[in-house]
Chains A and B, each alone.
Chain A
Amino acid sequence: MLISIKYNIKWKLLLSIFIITAVQSQAQTDADAIMMTKNNFCTGVMYSYSSWKNYWEGTNKRDNANLGTVSAKTFGVMGNYGISGKLNLLFGIPYVQTKATGGQLHGMKDVQDLSLWIKYLPIEKDLGPGVISVYTIAGVSTSLSAYNPDFLPLSIGLHSTNLSLRAIVDYQVDNWFATVAATYVARSNIKINRDAYYTTELHYTNKVKMPDAAQYNLRVGYRSERLIAEGLLSNWTTLGGYDITKNNMPFPSNRMNMTSAGINVKYNIKKVAGLSLIGGSNFTIAGRNVGQATVYTTGIFYIINFTKNKKPVATDTKKN
């Protein structure tokens, strides 16, 4: 769960960073195949730093001395509660601060989007030498502040309300696992502080139609009660939108796509049951209308067991 929360935030960041978060929070809660056990509540804080110097203007990769390096720092609070071993509720609230080292544009900072998720484990059974499990997850995210989506690349997010639906399939043999996840993200229109704007034509409205998005990821790694370590490949694809034209500024309804690769580690402290540390990093390997971000994440989490006289249980380690 720790890892899953982390992904959630990390995604925001990644995308954030050009384009900041905009693209999503809901994107990823829990793309992982882990559940909290009944009456356990895992909560923690995370810090993430994302930055890019190069970005893709449409498909053309460039830098821009008038932006320099654009960075986003994210502080997140999150939690995951086990209603049962098969049904979890999750939330996340990030605070994001952006900055450009070049040019004159002012950085932005504010509380970004609250995301809420409900995660269900309908299938978990032996298959061949291991265990296969299937998860379905639904989520909603919406902005908690009046932050400005029309100030890219320094906006802290895109300000749409998003509904996400995700399916995850996980297969674990001994301590080795592979997980694939696919998500559909439906995004609401947003409002900007203008009465007309140009995309590929001039629009006479303050509303911007946000294309929906799809998100995929694949993770492979080692999972035990003490340690989880994994490699991760992620893709975010905007289903529509348009390219930034040459030397133009980005806009919330651009076709923002990105593929990133990274690693994540979670370690459960031996001496304090329920306390764990996480760390991770990832790098954008391909993109369109986004910054080529590098992201570092760290966090600390603690599990509280509301069942009397029981030790906290860090993760559901499956029936192996």
Chain B
Amino acid sequence: MKKIFFSILLFSFFITIQSCNKNLDEYNASFPALNPVKNDLSAGTWKPILLIAADEFAVAAPILTTSPAYATEINEIKGWQENLTENQRQIIKYWSAGSVLRWNEILRELVAKHNIPSYQNADGTYPSPSAANPFAYPVFPFSNPPYAARAYAYVSAAQYDALVAAYHYKKLYSRVAPYTFDAGINALVPKTDLPSYPSEDATVTGVTVELLKLLFPADLNFIQQKADENKLYRIMAGANVRSEIEAGETLGRAVAQKFTGRARTDKAGAAIGTSVLWAQLEAQTAATGETPWISQELPKRPPMLPLFGKVKTFLFDSAGLVSIRPPAPPSTKSTLFKTELDEVMYYSTHSTTERMRIVQFWADGINTATPPGHWNEIAAKEFVKNNYSEVRWARNMALLNMSMMDAAICCWDAKYLYFNPRPSQINPEIKTFTGLPNFPSYISGHSTFSGAAATILGYILPANATMFNAMANEASVSRLYGAIHYRSDIEQGLICGQSVGAFAVARAKTDGAD
């Protein structure tokens, strides 16, 4: 009897193990192939960001479809399609969701990978990553939130300008896609009547790779592998011949130079500051009678990118920045400050499962794509449902990411202007439910990013505006629940972010896309 009992137990045990499906269903794997509602053929007339005009960089006329060279390229497609492997079909399925989308995901992955602060030196100082020697520890870059916000903005804005140029030439040359030209070619992606010269996907690849060479130089092998897949996918899918890919890539690379040139001179390279500056920031706040911020890491770590507030903005000039600069935070000697500090202490000592969920969902701390990356993910999920053309994807991502980069600049400007302490610095009894960021408290970065993101996304997708605002509010208050920010930090952060978002909305209304 006992033996039978035990045998049954054993049997059910193994059945249970067998039936345990441990595979993860990652939602982005099931994104459908891009099938735009509108092809946006006139996007060549949309207002570019840095390009002087859509035809600033010339693209030569395509080879004639009657030429032997073209026939050869058609044959190349047929050759691929004869013997597609399962792996190649997977590559087609992956990239068919859209090149702007997939490169955005790749960028988020690179940001997450590199978003880890360096380990200290033996003498208690910290090494900094070096763009000149990207493989030495700490590997370049440290993609913290400001770095990430800037990376997303440059890549998205450059993709947008490159696609505006590409669409200009598409309309000009009006070349039909291979699958339309030759009935012997299968369309392995949804057919569109968008002209195929130059390839929009290759344009995105060309421009993105050039930007990533600058932003993530230690990952070029990975980036190049993705780029090769991205280009080949279009040929295998019957959507582009090789010369369309080459023309798109060349155009993308050319447009990229405008953006890499700007990036090299936008002052981000100097944002880390110097030890002299770090001491000066503390001294100048102390001189006002306020308590300056002090690093609570051990050993003390220099504040994150103190001069990021000086970086060149995309959506407004320095006067614009001053116009939306938040007012000074409550004095550390004021009653209001004491009240706000007590509120932080309350959340530190009254955690709930729901508040912890909110803290963790929005934490976006080390080894994540950062808050701007999280908003890219949120936006991408919604954009997928809207079946945008590649150029509209790029335009919307550019608006979102320029907003968040400028939000980072405004936020960092305020943080280092006021240089005020974190709650746990004033009251060491305050314990936190998420990592304590190593920079001043006022204003909250999460709140600023989220206010900006929700504002521009609410303009792009009005039906979702309420949802985006609710998300922004939750992201913002998560920092109070986590016991790392005062209420003033999060409220003023949201307001400042919304002001930045309003600049993006103003641009969106006049860029010709709506």
Contacts and interface: CB of A to CB of B under 8 A. Distances in A.
A247 B109 contact: no
Interface in B289-309: 296-299
Contact of A207 (B24, B299, B357): B24
Given A203-B24, A248-B116, A65 B299 contact: yes
Nearest to A107: B431
A146 interface: yes
Contacts of A105: 431-433, 435
Interface string A155-193: 000000001010000000000000000000010110011
B9 A138 contact: yes
A205 B3 CA distance: 43
B117 A247 contact: yes
Contact of B22 (A84, A209, A247): A209
Contacts, number: 124
Interface string B1-31: 0110110011001001100101111111100
A104 B432 contact: yes
Given A193-B360, A246-B119, A104 B2 contact: no
Interface stretch (B69-77, B179-187, B348-356, B450-458): B348-356
Interface of A is mostly: loop
A66 interface: yes
B113 interface: yes
Interface stretch (B147-155, B191-199, B240-248, B365-373): B365-373
B93 interface: no
B22 A204 contact: no
A5 interface: no
Interface in A202-251: 202-205, 207-210, 245-249
Taking each of A106, A107, A118, which has the highest tally of chain B beta carbons within 10 Å of its own beta carbon?
A106
B112 A198 contact: yes
Given A105-B431, A209-B22, A196 B377 contact: yes
A66 B297 contact: yes
Contact of B377 (A151, A201, A204, A245): A204
Interface of A: 65-66, 83-84, 86-87, 102-107, 118, 120, 122, 136, 138, 146, 148, 150-151, 163, 165, 186, 188-189, 192-198, 201-205, 207-210, 245-249
16 contacts: A86-B2, A102-B298, A103-B296, A104-B431, A104-B436, A118-B6, A138-B9, A189-B22, A195-B361, A202-B105, A202-B108, A209-B22, A247-B119, A248-B366, A248-B367, A249-B367
Given A198-B109, A209-B24, 14 more contacts: A87-B6, A103-B296, A104-B424, A106-B351, A106-B433, A107-B431, A138-B9, A148-B360, A165-B13, A189-B22, A192-B360, A194-B361, A196-B369, A248-B367
